[in-house]
Amino acid sequence: MKRVVNVSALILLLGALALTGGARPAAALTVTVDTFVDSADPAFQACTGAANDCSARGAIIAANALAGADTIRLPAGLYALTIAGFDDVALSGDLDITSDLTLIGLGAGATIDPSALSNERSLHVLAGAAVVSLRKLTLTGGNGINGAGMRIETGAVTVRDMTIDGNDAMSNFAGGIYNAGTLIVRTSEITNNNSDNGNGGGIYNEAGATLVILSSTISGNTAFGYGGGIYNAGSTTISRSTVSNNTAENGGGVANFPASTVLTVADSTIDGNVATAAIGYPQGGGGIWSHSIDASDQVTITRSTISDNTAAGAWGGGVMVFTGRLTLNNTTVTRNSALFGGGVAAGGDTVIGRGRITRNDAADDGGGLWIAGGVNTIPKSLELSGSPAPLIANNTADGNGGGAYVSADNNMTFATITATIRDNAALGFGGGVYYLDARPDLPNTLAITNSLVQRNEAAAGGGLYLYGATAQILTTTVRNNVAGSEGGGIRLTDSTTVITASTVSGNDVTAGDGGGLYNEDDLLFSQLAVNNSTISGNTASDRGGGIYNEVSGAFGSATYLFNVTVAENSAGLGGSGVAANAGLIEARNSIIGEQAVAGDDCATGFGGVITGIGTNLEEGVSCGFTINAVAPLLDPLALNPPGLTETHALQAGSPAINAGPVNCVGDSNGDGVPDLLLATDQRGSARNGNCDLGSYEF
């Protein structure tokens, strides 16, 4: 079972223990060290009022012999450890603490340094020490041993106003601190420590151990393997702290490994860390790397900033979580870079509430987010939501998915997106979002709701590129996106997609088809249903300014329009409103008119069919609708109350008013069969009498 640490309760408990000494009597010894000589001679254990009778080592030996919560004070200066040997009673080597103790430096620069010894550290906390408080000390020069600065075997240790700097575990673990007990680090600096061939350059938190870092800095540490700043195999909480400029192969800042680990980050900054791992999934995690093959690890990040971290040859510049649960709340992930997932790479359950994913870069897929991978047998999911909605902006990818790359292949159960996705760019497909589901045997649903997809750019699918998706797009605006060849707003391949109460406007294809929407088959029948929506002001250099339907494979494609308004679009080669290059476009109770090229409403090619069922209206005569050669009398595109997306209001006297049936119907699953009562228009206003044509009820 995972342990979730209540930090406030833990601090209060340790404070009480420090006052009472646990079950022990009151403090038995309070002394001030009066010499810098390192000696275990009994003469230096006396610690009386006489001069030069109390060394640091002698005072600790004396305190260990007494059953009490002792206090030792170290005046400023250098306490060089010079007695070679290895024991656990402080007679030689490091200073072994085996009873409750407060060790406090006086003034500035009380420094313990074992660099004169080989394979030795400064302090060692062993059994018998239930509560240890260390304050205002510097530990430096430890070398060649697990926990080169300090090793904690058991008990509750508080480190406050401390500097752990310049220790080197060499081929071992934990350059700075090795913790197997309960450790609280407050207002301290863990800096420039090293683990040349191990894990945990700054701190190594053992399995079953608890680590709490408060108002501290973990910086400039390095590890050969995992966790340049911190290696966590137990439970770690980082609060109001900075983890910066650390380096490791995986988890430059923090590594959470191997299983049943809990990492909580709050009100903190993870900045400038580097993961050096070369490509080999699932390596990486410039800022944070978390890995377990059974999804038992948990990473929760709240009100924090993950910035300027890199994993140039691997996954997750800011954060990489293999299969566990990642929760980001009100957190900014910015200016990170990686091969895949410049900001975040995740293969488990991923929840992002509020916050900002901005200015990240991927040399391949997923500039802001890479949600993919994981383990086939372990479900994963994506949820983007919150108020205000998360912002995914100004991210770039040299491959697919400038804002986000989402692959549903590995047992994804669902993906829900409520977000603002803007100003992202991909050299490949999906400037805003690239979504891939190549397993029709395991269908799942992508839901994009109450979102804004704006000013993104890609080679195809400027705003959204959906391949193999089963998707619902509701109350969403897709506008002013740009694609080089296909689908300025949205490109669909082998997908079953339903768009409802949404607006696709102002999108552009600079050298191709489908300014607003592009629907095409490849290996499966691709079908699109649009309900109560507006397709307006889109442009294509070739065909299908508003909507383009293409058949490239042997399965076919179809686009169904239910109470849709298609207006003010343009296409250089015809079909400014809609174009079917093979396949089917079928309209019910819809308006296709007032295009930028007057009367250029519909165009077909290579056996394409555009047909109307019931009453539809076109301004020209190219669609073959029941009401033709008449202007629909539309107002300019605007946010008409109470709508959440823009619409073209009908003017008084429009021939579309009351021209439909008593009940307007739509399509809930994309198969073209009416099964959904459209009791309201796109704005949410009630349809009344015979419903009006298009997306707006007068």
CB 390 within 8 A of CB 352: yes
pLDDT per residue as tens digits for the range 255-266: 999 999 999 999
Residue 441, pLDDT score:
67
Q: Distance between CA atoms of 197 and 557, rounded to whole angstroms? A: 57
Q: Distance between CA atoms of 13 and 467, rounded to whole angstroms? A: 55
On the question of pLDDT at 271 being above 50, the answer is yes
On the question of pLDDT at 14 being above 70, the answer is no
Q: Which pLDDT band, with edges at 50, 70 and 90, does 6 fall under? A: low
pLDDT per residue as tens digits for the range 542-570: 999 999 999 999 999 999 999 999 999 99
On the question of pLDDT at 15 being above 90, the answer is no
Omega before residue 655 within 30° of 0, cis: no
State CA 89 to chain mean position distance.
Answer: 47
On the question of pLDDT at 26 being above 80, the answer is no
Residue 109, pLDDT score:
84
First to last CA, the chain: 59
* Strand segments (E) across 85-193: 95-97, 101-113, 123-125, 131-135, 138-139, 150-152, 156-160, 163-165, 177-179, 182-186, 189-191
- Backbone torsions φ then ψ of 352, nearest 5 degrees: -120, 110
CB 176 within 8 A of CB 202: yes
pLDDT per residue as tens digits for the range 602-661: 999 999 999 999 999 999 999 999 999 999 999 999 999 999 999 999 999 999 999 999
Q: Distance between CA atoms of 460 and 476, rounded to whole angstroms? A: 20
Token pair, residue 574, equals 């015809």
Q: What percent of the chain has pLDDT over 70?
A: 95
pLDDT per residue as tens digits for the range 174-215: 999 999 999 999 999 999 999 988 999 999 999 999 999 999
Average per-residue pLDDT in the chain?
94
